[in-house]
Structure 1
Amino acid sequence: MVAQHSPIRAKLDRAGIMLSGLCLVHCIASIVVVSALGIGAEFLLAPAFHRVGLAIALVVAAVAIGWGALTHRRPVPFVTAMMGLTFMGGALAMPHGAGEAVLTVIGVTLVAIGHLLNLRRAD
């Protein structure tokens, strides 16, 4: 039997997907703008910006993915999102550059997939 999901949880999952997409755009745009134009590095690459983004991702994922895991009892969305959050956290420990960008892109992609799986309640 398929568990029914709450409209609030569905909105949180959609918000999580949107935030992951925005994070991905920010990451790529930051590299392009800072590398090509040499402007905005102090804001676009600021560690505080990334810490706040991770904190928001943690809260949205904890509520939406956690709620979904408790409701539909399927571990794949939860595990996928948590792996993504781990990659995002690992990116914070790296110096700015290609390594950080790769970890961030992998992380936000996995978090978005976790939210999508949570919406679909699929393994």
Structure 2
Amino acid sequence: MGKDGLWDRIAVMISGLCLVHCISTILFVALLSSAGGVFLDPLVHEIGIGIAIALGMFTLGRGVLDHGYVMPAALGGLGLGMMMGAITLGHGGDHGGAEVIYTMLGVGVLALGHDLNYRATH
């Protein structure tokens, strides 16, 4: 567990992949409605948020211990909370668009927390 920021860089990369997933889902659903069943499967999002929580607890928690700044962990926690809240909105219906927006905002806030954590460590 060195201070090279490897885990924060991995977490930021995964956040970016989540954002790409969200955007590509919108595009694929718009272009190929049959692909929506795979990309919009709630299990994909539940597994993804589980990985994000575990990685966030590890990297952001370790960061607080390493550099003593709580702000990156607080922002990361806010982003995770936004993502978890978005999952509760469900796909489609009245809240379908809101789920995507809240998820993407949460991913961005989480990535900012990881970036600040990385910068504070270096």
TM-score by length of 2: 0.90
**1:31 positional shift:** 1.1
Who is 2:70 aligned against?
A: 75
Report the counterpart of residue 8 of structure 2 in structure 1: 13
SS at match of 2:53: helix
Amino acid at match of 1:100: E
The 1-side partners of 2:68 and 2:29 are apart by 44
Considering fraction of residues, name the structure with more helix: 2
Deviation at 1:85, TM superposition (A): 0.1
Cα shift readout 1:68-107 (whole Å, capped 9, x = no counterpart): 0112111110110000000000011012221010111011
Task: Judge which range, 32-41 or 53-62, deviates more.
Answer: 32-41
Matched, 1:106 2:97: no
Matching residue of 2:88: 93
Give the CA deviation at 1:36. 2.3
Identity %: 37
The unaligned stretches of length 5 or more in structure 1 are none
SS in 1 for 2:90: coil
Q: Could you tell me how far apart the structure 2 residues matched to 1:95 and 1:55 are?
A: 17
CA distance in 1, matches of 2:14, 2:24: 15
Give the match for residue 22 of structure 1: 17
1:47 to 42, 48, 51: 42
Moved over 2 A (4+): none
Aligned residue pair count: 116
- Distance in 1 (CA, whole Å) between partners of 2:34 and 2:100 is 18
Q: TM-score, normalised by structure 1?
A: 0.89
Structure 1, residues 47-84: CA drift from partner, whole Å, max 9, x if none? 00000000111111111100001121111101100000
Alpha-carbon RMSD across the aligned residues, in angstroms, is 1.3
